[in-house]
Amino acid sequence: MAVRGGIWGIFLLIMVASAIWQVTSGSARIDGDVLSLIGLEKTDDTARKSDIETVRDLLANDANQAIIMVSANQQDMLETATRALASDIANIPGTKSVSMPGYDAGNLARLSDFYLPHAQSLLSDRDRALLRDGNGEPVYQNAVKTLYAPASMVSAASLRADPFSLLPNFLAELGNKLGPSGIVQRDNNFYTPILIILTPDLRRQGRDIAWVGKVNDVITNAQNNTNQSDGLTIAKTGQVFFAVAEATAAKADVQRIAIIATLGIFAMVLSVFFSPLPLIGTLITVGSGLIAGIAAVTLIFDGIHAIALVFGASLIGISVDYALHYLVLPADEKSPTARIATIRSGLSLGLLTSVCGFAVLAISPAILLAQIAVYSIAGLIAAYVTVLFVLPLLPARSIKHRSLIPRVYQKLDDTLRRLRLPRLVRGMAALAILGGFAICILFIPTDDDIRHLGHGNDTLTTQAGLIGDTMGMGGNPVFIRIDGADSQSRLQTGEAVQNALRPLIKDGTVGSAFGLSDMIPSIKRQDENRTLIKDQLFEIYAPKLAPLLPINIQTPNPDAPYLHADADAFVQFPELANLRDGTTDIVRLNAVTDANAVAMAIANIDAARLINPRATITDQFSHYRNWATVGLAIALLSAGILAIARYGMIRGLCVLGTPAGAMLVALGGAATIGITINFFTIMALFLVFAIGADYVIFFSESQKHRQQDTTRFAVFLSLISSILAFGLLASSSVPVVSAIGTIMAIGLPTAWVLSYAMCPTSVKADQSDV
Amino acid sequence: MTHRWSKAWALILFCAAVFPAFPVNADTTGLTSTAMLTPISDQQYLTGSFALDRHLDGFEAPLTSTGEFTLSPSKGLIWQNLKPFPDTTVMNDQGITRKHDDRTFETIASGARFHQFIALISAVLGGNWDPLSDQFTITPAKTATASNWQVTLAPKNNNGLSEQISQIIVKGDEFVTHVTLHKPSGDRDEITLNDQKRHDLPLPTDLAKLLSGNFD
């Protein structure tokens, strides 16, 4: 026994070292961003990315951007404050670049150089419409006036390539499609954005919290150093701010819950045993579970998600059951080996049932589910091994029956032992429970909307809304995905999409739409433009324009090279990479007020589809919920087979009916107080199932070793510890964590009561299975 | 790809070059106090005629236009081409607007940013070179006199101006009389200003309507 305990102790130390190294070296970090865990699943179609993969890629790109909007009631003050703020932010480690669309000159020279050789293949929508209508006069007049305009950008080079000055109109329209920016005046205030690009490794290295802290300091300093009369206000938005806020809130919750739960369990154990030794045993068991869980997750994955961490903290509630099951055994003359033998079968069956349940999650395609499963399985196995190998090494201590908890327990136990139902009734009740649970899980309302999951941050949400409303930037991105085997077909579809969206842009339903085809028109479009320019401009107006120009106007060359969305274009404009993802082109939409109208507008374009990332991710969580529900059903089925094999049909059904009944009551109770079912509440049901199954299995197994009294007390102590841990989750500020806690707080006491009702043979007063 | 402010920059350059009234308070830049001009206040406006010769690299003959202008430091600028084609361009806080022959108007560019160039002109007309010194290196000619001076403006490298302009040379006496805008392409605009007069506000009704954005 001592040797096995020693070896296991060494294993635990190795796991501690591994976990500490993984976390402190940055190899594995805590991630609070829900989006970072989704969309990593493998898909069968390797050529075409799924919506969620495309959403993840786009959001990952957006995650490296942040927007700060500065406003003031004087433009001079606005410029001074904006430049100072941008300079300070540029100096923060983790900032890759900072730009001020309101004050930067832009990329005119780069764009002109790129487009000028193709000027006679490019037309603005307005000029194209005029030429298509055979009305080239306004285009010609504009060309003439541009020659003499005070701020004209014409040059010798531009006139040679573009004598009708068509390119400036194309470029101006391109700018409008990119959406509003610069400086906006509204209600006597002026607003301008600062666009920040973060270094790609900022979040991966866990430096995002420090970066956000420094940005907040810079903003505070700017506001403190300004007179209130200047009306300076600063708003910020970006995934990095939301992710850090969520992670901070989640970590604070985890710390609070873990500390209070741990102290509560300490107090409980000390008050029952009046000795620190059982407490040490409990600590070792719980600690080994947590260590093994963290070590396993950090070894397998790049990091631990905050949600998995919360579940990990909850693991205390399960692993402490195993320790208590051993510690409450009477400290009589039996050897430790003999004492452990009396609970081994119960522990083993309980562990097996729980591992079966979590194993179903481990094979799911979702990283989040896999992390939770690995954490739970590794933690439970470690706790189990610790109870078997380490706890017997500690001197046994007896329960002090006159202390408060044993006395309270005795009264409750006396009451519950009167719950004696005939065997057939129990069997019927179990069947009814199982049927009711199946119906409930199928028909109870669900809500997978990701907006309802997080802690939320009203300030950030308000600021994001203000920036979106004022500048048409940030906020929930909406885009149209265009699929097609070849680049040209996608570009043509992109042009069809722009045509379809034009009325919506005009009436303000869509602020702006920008896709690859706006930068690189399709060859078909370029051919059309060439024909229009030649037929409607050159042939009619070149003779009139020629005397005004100091150059010979050349008729457009029909064999001139086309503008292509090729590697050269992507090298010159790396931003274009955000508009193409494999065989999918992206049209980004800004300030969409009616997504349904957009979907309707493009409904007839087969290769184009509106993608709302929020809806897509919500669908993904719906998929996870379905997966977890199926997993729960499989876990129940597995547990049922195990129970029937072990206890026979009726008793097996009764054993299965206990956790199922607990889940049924938890579902009903949660629904009554307004908690809807989502992936996370299903996960909470998993925990209710695992712990509830432990209770009834411990009850059932105890009679084999005549340990019914001590087992029932151990289960009672387990219940208290679980309520301490999971009940506190209900107090979390994160809605999803609170929902989990509520499910647990309802489900676990129900499982405890049902264990009495469904397993009367474990009750000392009723030895016969009637 | 924020090129949409290029016209604004072009206007700022143009206006900064054409209306840099003179170094009355030139201490901050080292310019000597050679100006004969009393700065135009917000309660005044300036009128005059212009001749713009646009020299394109490699071509002998320039593109020449002539017309009249009106500048109000507090309202904006009206640039009226008379020859070879009549054309009116209005630049104010809200942007650039072109008046067509059929009396319709077309917004060439819009946005609160255009406050910047109006503010720039006003500051310069007030004899304050500070706004220009943020964007330009300002060098007075050593041979300048109080009645015949010259200033060279070179865009600083830390902004986008240098992509569009390489140098501006401004000459004048009581008013600005001649401006040369050299562009990186080798092209240049030669602007000659004449008949400049200072007036007290209010503006004539038709000009006031144009500058206030009332195009009805």
Q: How many residues does chain A have?
A: 770
Q: How far off is chain A from B66, nearest CA to CA, in Å? A: 9
Report which of A468, A518, A470, A412 is spatially closest to residue A111, judged by C-alpha positions: A518
Q: Which of A207, A237, A267 is the last residue of a domain?
A: A237
Higher pLDDT, B2 or A619: A619
User: How would residue B30 be classed by pLDDT, with cut points 50, 70 and 90?
Assistant: very low
Report the Cα A68 to chain-centroid distance in Å.
23
Higher pLDDT, A369 or A757: A757
Q: Give the residue-averaged pLDDT of A547-570.
A: 81
For residues A608 and A481, the answer to whether their CB atoms sit within 8 Å is yes
Residues A329 and A231 in one domain: no
Q: Give the residue-averaged pLDDT of B153-159.
A: 71
Residue A768: predicted pLDDT: 41
- Summarised one tens digit per residue, pLDDT across range A405-417 is 888 888 988 888 8
Residue among A79, A147, A550 minimizing CB distance to B59: A550
CA distances from A195 to A86, A87, A301, A702, B2 (A): 9, 12, 33, 66, 12
CA distances from A344 to A76, A319, A449, A658 (A): 78, 15, 43, 21
Q: Give the residue-averaged pLDDT of A144-159.
A: 81
Among B3, B100, B166, pick the best mutation site for testing chain A contact (most A Cβ within 10 A): B3
A317: pLDDT strictly greater than 80: no
Which residues are registered as beta bridge partners of B138? B153
Whether residue B83 lies inside any domain: the answer is yes
CA distance linking residue A71 with residue A215, whole number of Å: 17
CA distance linking residue A29 with residue A167, whole number of Å: 50
Are B113 and A102 within 8 A, CB to CB?
yes
B28: pLDDT strictly greater than 70: no
Whether residue A78 lies inside any domain: the answer is yes
- Cis link prior to A477 (omega < 30° from 0)? no
Higher pLDDT, B159 or A684: A684
Terminal alpha carbon distance of chain A: 40
Whether residue A285 lies inside any domain: the answer is yes
Residue among B4, B79, B159 minimizing CB distance to A172: B4
Residue A144: predicted pLDDT: 87
CA atoms lying within 13 Å on the CB side of residue A708: 17
Are A106 and B4 within 8 A, CB to CB?
yes
- Summarised one tens digit per residue, pLDDT across range B77-132 is 888 889 888 888 888 777 778 877 667 777 776 665 566 656 555 555 444 556 67
CA distance linking residue A284 with residue A269, whole number of Å: 13
* 3-state secondary structure (DSSP) of residue B69: strand
CA distance linking residue B136 with residue B167, whole number of Å: 9
Residues A214 and A79 in one domain: yes
Return the top range by mean pLDDT from A9-13, A470-474, A638-642: A638-642
From chain B, pick out residues whose CB is under 8 angstroms from the CB of A98: none
From chain B, pick out residues whose CB is under 8 angstroms from the CB of A145: 81, 85, 87, 98
Higher pLDDT, B127 or A109: A109
Are A111 and B183 within 8 A, CB to CB?
no
Whether residue B138 lies inside any domain: the answer is yes
Q: How high does pLDDT run on average in chain A?
A: 82
Residue among A76, A104, A551 minimizing CB distance to B59: A551
Whether residue B216 lies inside any domain: the answer is no
Are B60 and A172 within 8 A, CB to CB?
no
User: How would residue B58 be classed by pLDDT, with cut points 50, 70 and 90?
Assistant: confident
CA distances from A428 to A323, A378, A437, A758, B171 (A): 34, 36, 14, 11, 104
Residue B157: predicted pLDDT: 65
Among B79, B104, B113, pick the best mutation site for testing chain A contact (most A Cβ within 10 A): B113
Whether residue A647 lies inside any domain: the answer is yes
Are B58 and A76 within 8 A, CB to CB?
no
Residues A399 and A322 in one domain: yes
Whether residue B79 lies inside any domain: the answer is yes
CA distance linking residue B63 with residue B133, whole number of Å: 31
User: How would residue A364 be classed by pLDDT, with cut points 50, 70 and 90?
Assistant: low
Whether residue A9 lies inside any domain: the answer is no
* 3-state secondary structure (DSSP) of residue A467: helix
Containing structural domain, residue B133: 3-211
Q: Give the residue-averaged pLDDT of B7-29.
A: 45
From chain A, pick out residues whose CB is under 8 angstroms from the CB of B87: 145, 148-149
CA distances from A41 to A370, A588, A612, A632 (A): 11, 24, 19, 20
CA distance linking residue A118 with residue B162, whole number of Å: 25
Higher pLDDT, A281 or A22: A281
Q: How far off is chain B from A151, nearest CA to CA, in Å? A: 5
For residues B83 and B65, the answer to whether their CB atoms sit within 8 Å is yes
Residue A456: predicted pLDDT: 66
- Summarised one tens digit per residue, pLDDT across range A692-739 is 888 888 888 877 767 778 888 888 988 888 888 777 778 877 777 788
- Cis link prior to B140 (omega < 30° from 0)? no
User: Counting one residue from A and one from B, how many pairs have CB atoms under 8 Å apart?
Assistant: 139
| SS3 per residue for A258-293 | HHHHHHHHHHHHHHHHCCHHHHHHHHHHHHHHHHHH
Residue B49: predicted pLDDT: 92
CA atoms lying within 13 Å on the CB side of residue A716: 21
Whether residue A526 lies inside any domain: the answer is no
Whether residue B204 lies inside any domain: the answer is yes
CA atoms lying within 13 Å on the CB side of residue A226: 25
Whether residue A652 lies inside any domain: the answer is yes
User: How would residue A35 be classed by pLDDT, with cut points 50, 70 and 90?
Assistant: low
Write the CB contacts of A20 (distance below 8 Å, at least 6 apart in sequence).
Answer: none
Poorest-pLDDT segment among A79-93, A513-527, B106-120: B106-120
Whether residue B142 lies inside any domain: the answer is yes
Report which of A45, A35, A265, A246 is spatially closest to residue A727, judged by C-alpha positions: A265
Quote the ipTM score. 0.80
Report which of A586, A578, A738 is spatially closest to residue A60, judged by C-alpha positions: A578
Higher pLDDT, A143 or A444: A143
Whether residue B175 lies inside any domain: the answer is yes
CA distance linking residue A175 with residue A105, whole number of Å: 13
Residue B27: predicted pLDDT: 40
Are A176 and B59 within 8 A, CB to CB?
no
Residue B14: predicted pLDDT: 52
For residues A180 and A102, the answer to whether their CB atoms sit within 8 Å is no
Terminal alpha carbon distance of chain B: 34
Poorest-pLDDT segment among A190-194, A330-334, A557-561, A631-635: A330-334
Are B6 and A153 within 8 A, CB to CB?
yes
Residue A756: predicted pLDDT: 87
User: How would residue A450 be classed by pLDDT, with cut points 50, 70 and 90?
Assistant: confident
Residues A196 and A330 in one domain: no
Residues A322 and A207 in one domain: no
Are B164 and A153 within 8 A, CB to CB?
yes
Give me the number of domains chain B comprises.
1
Are B112 and A190 within 8 A, CB to CB?
yes
Residue A476: predicted pLDDT: 64
Are A106 and B159 within 8 A, CB to CB?
no
Give me the number of domains chain A comprises.
2
Amino acid letter, residue A436: G
**Treating both helix axes as pointing N-terminal to C-terminal, what angle do A679-702 and A649-672 enclose, rounded to 10 degrees?**
140
Residue A237 DSSP one-character state? E
Percent helix, strand, coil in chain B (nearest 5)?
25, 40, 35
Residues A300 and A420 in one domain: yes
Among A111, A114, A148, pick the best mutation site for testing chain B contact (most B Cβ within 10 A): A148
Percent of chain A whose pLDDT exceeds 90? 16
Query: What is B179-207 written as a DSSP string?
Result: EEEE-TTS-EEEEEEEEEEEEESSPPHHH
Whether residue A551 lies inside any domain: the answer is no
Are A104 and B3 within 8 A, CB to CB?
no
B20: pLDDT strictly greater than 70: no
Residues A313 and A199 in one domain: no
Residues A218 and A268 in one domain: no
From chain B, pick out residues whose CB is under 8 angstroms from the CB of A171: 3, 6
Higher pLDDT, A757 or B28: A757
CA distance linking residue A463 with residue A218, whole number of Å: 17
B146: pLDDT strictly greater than 90: no
Residue B33: predicted pLDDT: 38
CATH of the domain at A191: 3.30.70.600
User: How would residue A482 be classed by pLDDT, with cut points 50, 70 and 90?
Assistant: very high
**Treating both helix axes as pointing N-terminal to C-terminal, what angle do A125-132 and A167-177 enclose, rounded to 10 degrees?**
130
CA distance linking residue A290 with residue A61, whole number of Å: 34
Residues A326 and A440 in one domain: yes
Query: What is A123-175 written as a DSSP string?
Result: --HHHHHHHHTT--HHHHHHHHHHHH-TT----HHHHHH-TT--HHHHHHHHH
Whether residue A139 lies inside any domain: the answer is no
Residues A228 and A345 in one domain: no
- Summarised one tens digit per residue, pLDDT across range B193-206 is 888 888 888 888 88
Nearest residue of B to residue A552, measured between CA atoms: B59
Are B85 and A144 within 8 A, CB to CB?
yes
- Summarised one tens digit per residue, pLDDT across range A171-227 is 888 877 765 557 777 777 888 888 888 887 787 667 888 999 999 999 999 888 877
CA distance linking residue A529 with residue B104, whole number of Å: 27
CATH of the domain at A700: 1.20.1640.10
Q: How far off is chain A from B37, nearest CA to CA, in Å? A: 24
Residues A288 and A217 in one domain: no
CA distances from A609 to A448, A480, A768, B59, B77 (A): 22, 5, 66, 52, 47
Residues A196 and A254 in one domain: no
Q: Give the residue-averaged pLDDT of A373-389.
A: 88
Residue among B58, B85, B109 minimizing CB distance to A145: B85
Burial profile A730-739: b = 16 or more Cβ within 10 angstroms, e = fewer:
bebebbbbbb
Q: State the CB neighbour count (10 A cutoff) for residue A765.
A: 10
CATH of the domain at B41: 2.50.20.10
Report which of B170, B145, B197, B198 is spatially closest to residue B36, judged by C-alpha positions: B145
User: How would residue B37 be classed by pLDDT, with cut points 50, 70 and 90?
Assistant: low
Containing structural domain, residue A213: 64-101+182-237
Are A148 and B61 within 8 A, CB to CB?
no
Are B81 and A178 within 8 A, CB to CB?
no
